[in-house]
Amino acid sequence: MDKTLVYLVTGGCGFIGEHIVELLCKQDYISEVRVFDSMASEEVKKFATASTCVTVMKGDIRDYALLLFAMRGVHLVIHTAGIVDIMDLVPFRDMEAVNVAGTENVLKACCALSIPFLVYTSSIAAVGPNTRREPMLRGTEDTKYTGEVELPYGKTKAMAEKLVLEANGKELSNGGKLATCIIRPNTVYGEKYQRLKDLYTTVKAKGGLLNYIVREDTERNLIYVGNVAWMHVLAARNLQLNPDVLAGQVYYSYDDTPARKSYLVQYQLLTGIDPSIRLGSCIPYWKLRLLIYFYRIINILLYPFWKPRPFLNLPVLNTIITTFFYETDKAFRHFGYTPLYSWEESKRRTIAWLKSATMNLRAHQHHGKEM
């Protein structure tokens, strides 16, 4: 493969995007990784190597003219940019403008500039659970699952997926054809997963007791972010090498993270930095629903004078307690994917980051005990 390849990663400073950039810089067939992000950070430049440079460009994918400028000379796009909002902090129209119209802009730019390959980062939320809370157990990419998607975020990802699949095979300005494929992660954990840091803070504030919402009979895939990124890297390369196999395909992310229950993985990660943390019990569904309605009433009564931080909402609660689990080896069969990081290495790397991220908090708590 030509050493002069240029890849562009939209959202390359985000949680998954940054890990994709890091791994792309280690590939000897790429000369430049271009990062296009509305929250552009120079930090990703640290991944540059002697043979692969990193160029950071600040921009919003809703700005088509700027997007065209950033994408000139690019051979392949990995489109991870988007608003991930499950707590209704962002109005739906704004999320739709970025996740759907923004994706349309990226595809339009690919056709205008004759960029023949695009890998899209979607989400399991694009599939479900649906509003009827119907489970999916040991599904595959071919499993038929219907009904209205529960999460507004998931609705925008489903709409964007439809655009990406419809664009596959579309004619480019030079007469070629656009080849697209989609990666669908489920629950992702790893370094820079802010919710894990927030969970530690919450657990310590409650005396070190980790209570959880997920019911014991609920199953969901958990995947280390480095393996999600690695799947993107392999899919991108093989989309170029074997477009007849990958074009128009959807792939679920997976690795060997052992637990199918998020609270058990969280417990292992938190106790890795603080052995005093104890596993509590499942919070009853009825109690959580009451709390959600209570927060709604408070919000109505106090708006616009004060808007409390969202505690939870019903779509999120229903998503958390609904089994959505798949078993697949499609990525291995189509492009030889196997996890780059074992569970032990994934755990070690995540715990090391969490230790660093919570260092000040733990030092303060230790100092408080000595006083």
Residue spans of the domains in the chain: they are: 5-193+221-256+327-340
Written out in words, the top-level CATH class of the domain with range 5-193+221-256+327-340 is alpha beta
- Of the residues 153, 189, 193, 200, which is catalytic? 153
Q: Is-contact 230 337, C-beta < 8 A?
A: yes
Q: What is the pLDDT of residue 306?
A: 72
Q: Which residue has the tokens 């655009």?
A: 163
Q: What is the pLDDT of residue 313?
A: 86
Tokens of 269: 């990660």
Q: What is the pLDDT of residue 367?
A: 45
In a 13 Å sphere around the CA of 312, the CA atoms on its Cβ side amount to 18
Q: What is the pLDDT of residue 184?
A: 97
Q: Which amino acid is at 173?
A: S
Q: What is the pLDDT of residue 215?
A: 85
153 is catalytic: yes
Q: 3-state SS string over the chain?
A: CCCCEEEEEECCCCHHHHHHHHHHCCCCCEEEEEEEECCCCHHHHHHCCCCCEEEEEECCCCCHHHHHHHHCCCCEEEECCCCCCCCCCCCHHHHHHHHHHHHHHHHHHHHHHCCCEEEEECCHHHCCCECCCCCEEEECCCCCCCCCECCHHHHHHHHHHHHHHHHCCCECCCCCECEEEEEECCEEECCCCHHHHHHHHHHHHCCCEEEECCCCCCCECEEEHHHHHHHHHHHHHHHHHCHHHHCCCEEECCCCCCCCCHHHHHHHHHHCCCCCCEEEEECCHHHHHHHHHHHHHHHHHHCCCCCCCCCCCHHHHHHHHCCEEECCCHHHHHHCCCCCCCHHHHHHHHHHHHHHHCHHHHHHHHHHHHC
Mean pLDDT in order along the chain per 10 residues (371 residues):
83 96 96 94 90 94 96 97 88 95 98 98 95 93 93 96 98 97 96 92 92 89 97 98 97 93 93 94 91 84 73 87 94 98 97 89 54 44
Q: What is the pLDDT of residue 360?
A: 67
- Report cis status (omega within 30 of 0) of the bond before 129: yes
Q: Which amino acid is at 7?
A: Y
Per-residue exposure over 70-89, b if at least 16 CB sit within 10 Å of its own CB, e if not: bbeebbbbbbbbbbbbbeee
